[in-house]
Amino acid sequence: MPHERRARLIAQAHMAARQAGLNDEERRAVQHGVTGLASCQEMSVRQLVMLLDHYARLGVGVRASAPEAPGEFGGGPTRWQLATIERLAWDQGWEGGLEDPALIRFVRRTAKVGHPRWLTRRMASAVITGLRRWHGQRARR
């Protein structure tokens, strides 16, 4: 599943560059400027999302796809909740996003489940609130 999302993000990055009217050389220069890497194949999910956020700020109509939410229709977390948790994890410096061991430990302490994808919507809200509070506390120090 993470590999499918990464492939989708790479395709979205190329589509966004085309919509912005960039040729290959310009696209690689933008990619390098935003992420430090000229090739999307070398980028992490976080770097691809950062690149797509950059294009969105420029007015391109392509947005980064959110992580898959297997329980979205059965009370599990929504894609928006998983995307928010992922971004908050990155803000904490947890580069692995939803798969980062530090986030998984935080989810275990906060929601008493073993992985962010197993959260209910209510649990996901509690995790989001907890991460935002923690991030706020760290910012005030």
In a domain, 65, yes or no: no
In a domain, 67, yes or no: no
Sequential DSSP letters for 72-138: TTTTS--HHHHHHHHHHHHHTT-TTGGG-HHHHHHHHHHHS-SSGGG--HHHHHHHHHHHHHHHHHH
Residues of the chain with pLDDT below 50 are: 72
State how many domains the chain has.
Answer: 2
R_g of the chain, CA atoms, integer Å = 16
In this structure, are residues 15 and 68 in contact, taking their beta carbons and an 8 Å threshold?
Answer: no
d(CA 29, CA 39): 10
In a domain, 93, yes or no: yes
* pLDDT score for 71: 52
In a domain, 66, yes or no: no
Residues 39 and 84 reside in one and the same domain: no
**Is this structure's pTM higher than 0.85?**
no
Residues 52 and 101 reside in one and the same domain: no
In a domain, 68, yes or no: no
Residues 7 and 52 reside in one and the same domain: yes
Residues 101 and 132 reside in one and the same domain: yes
- Domain residues for the domain of 114 are 79-140
Residues 83 and 132 reside in one and the same domain: yes
**pLDDT tens per residue, range 102-118:** 999 999 999 999 988 88
Residues 42 and 84 reside in one and the same domain: no
